[in-house]
Amino acid sequence: MKKNLFILGLMACSMTMLGQTDKNESKKENWYFKLGGSYFTQTASTEFPVVGGQLPNRDVYEGAVSNNKLVSRESVTGSFGEGFRGGLTAGYRFSTRLGVEMGVNYYTSNSKTMAQTTNRLIAYDPNTTAATYVSFTAKGQIKAFDLAPAIVMFLGETNGFEPYTKVGIIVPVHGTLDIKTSRDYATFVGANQVANTEAYSKDVVKPNPTLGFMSALGTSYKLGKHISAYAELEYRNFTVHGKTKETEVYTENGVDKLNTTTSFRKASYSAIHTNYVSSLNGTSNNETYNSAGFDETKPMNELSSYVGISGLGLTLGLKYSL
């Protein structure tokens, strides 16, 4: 709702200024190009999706074997809207007041913790009294290229400054969500640690096609006949739904366990490949819902989830007008 009000406000302001333009004002048709860098902060937080079967929580366990229990739980929320962006923009100005732009951008988000667990008991052998505990942290990061077509409304030049507004859409053309998970398996017999395994995995989620929306308020300042500096305050909002997921890296104590013939991960295609679906039932390739028909040689079916990329950013750069 806030996004829509912001966009409508910018459009109303721009149209008001446009209506006040002197009809005899000379046209200012020309091409221009912009090079800029941005930093965005997130503007909305949502609960992250399930990561590797782990709920988006920050859990802390205490105690050994018989009394290992959950002592605190905190929901992990956030957005991948915080991060850096660099881009090139080509624009064409039809008149003194109206133009269009096409931006090509590369965005990399800040790394965000999506799930975390500390000291959870996962195995106990009563014969040897060996107990194994796991602590893990899963962090995600989005990297993406996008196209950003927009309509620009210039509000008039004064003393070298020319403010403008623009509204448009964001079309991601390529991108991934990389989820890097570090797991520490510690095995104890009594108070003595007898084994420790540090496991690391990297899962790459590829998205379904999507569209986002953006609006911006900016100004340029003339530095010369063709060169200007510019600054923009931009709001953007869109969500990304997962399409597929693949485990690209899995190591234990630094040794590759994904691409070796003796690895249990290599033996099961479904363990490292996932196809996201809208629902799970008795025909899905999911062992929980279809144990009799589950095929380990095909990708696992899991419920599709989404992550948000909502942010408010400041862009600084240079503009060259032909």
Q: Domain holding 54: CATH number?
A: 2.40.160.20
Dist. CA 33–CA 219, nearest whole Å: 15
**Phi and psi dihedrals of 45, rounded to 5?**
-115, 135
Dist. CA 78–CA 155, nearest whole Å: 36
The owner of tokens 């991934």 is 176
Dist. CA 179–CA 114, nearest whole Å: 9
Neighbours of 20 (CB within 10 A): 10
**Structural domain harbouring 137:** 2-21+28-321
Tens of pLDDT along the chain (322 residues)?
Answer: 444 444 445 444 444 444 444 444 445 789 999 999 999 999 888 888 888 778 899 999 999 898 999 999 999 988 899 999 999 999 999 999 999 999 999 999 999 999 999 999 999 999 999 999 999 999 999 999 999 999 999 999 999 999 999 999 999 999 999 999 999 999 999 889 999 999 999 999 999 989 999 999 999 999 999 999 999 999 999 888 889 999 999 999 999 988 775 544 455 888 899 999 989 999 999 998 999 999 999 999 998 888 889 899 999 999 999 9
**278-281, long-range: CB < 8 A, 24+ apart:** 278/303, 278/304, 279/303
CB 200 within 8 A of CB 154: no
Question: What total of structural domains would you count in the chain?
Answer: 1
The owner of tokens 């809207």 is 81
What's the helix, strand, coil split of the chain in %, to 5? 10, 65, 30
The owner of tokens 């025909």 is 283
CB 254 within 8 A of CB 261: no
